[in-house]
């Protein structure tokens, strides 16, 4: 049985803001990044950060908490690959 993925109100707002800037993003894309990330980092308060490459210079990062019964998406943000990837 697949684990439930819940979106915080903040993460839903971030998706709408990015969409308003013509950034192709949806809840389905965020869920796909959580399920099949290119990379996972540890974040603040032991949160997980799933990352996926968007193009040669950019990534999309999804901060989430792993709870016993669900995954809670905290926020979503794009970034430069050079900042988050080490050679």
Question: Which three-class secondary structure state does DSSP give residue 1?
Answer: coil
**Could you report the per-residue pLDDT of 10-23, keeping only the tens digit for each?**
999 999 999 999 98
**Could you report the per-residue pLDDT of 30-87, keeping only the tens digit for each?**
999 999 999 999 999 989 999 999 889 999 999 999 998 999 999 999 999 888 877 5
CATH topology of domain 4-84: YaeB-like fold (3.30.2310)
User: What does the DSSP assignment read for 49-72?
Assistant: EEEEE-SSSEEEEEEEEE-SSEEE
End-to-end CA distance of the chain: 37
Hey, where are the domains in the chain?
4-84
Q: How many CB atoms lie within 10 A of CB 4?
A: 10
As a whole number of angstroms, the distance between CA 35 and CA 37 comes to 6
């Amino acid at each position: 049985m697949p684990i439930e993925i819940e979106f915080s109100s903040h993460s839903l707002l971030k998706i709408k803001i990015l969409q308003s800037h013509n950034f192709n993003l949806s809840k389905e894309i965020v869920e796909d990044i959580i399920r099949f990330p290119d990379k996972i980092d540890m974040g603040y308060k032991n949160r997980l950060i799933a990352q996926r490459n968007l193009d040669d210079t950019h990534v999309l990062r999804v901060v989430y908490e792993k709870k016993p019964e669900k995954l809670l998406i905290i926020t979503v943000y794009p970034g430069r690959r050079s900042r988050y990837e080490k050679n």
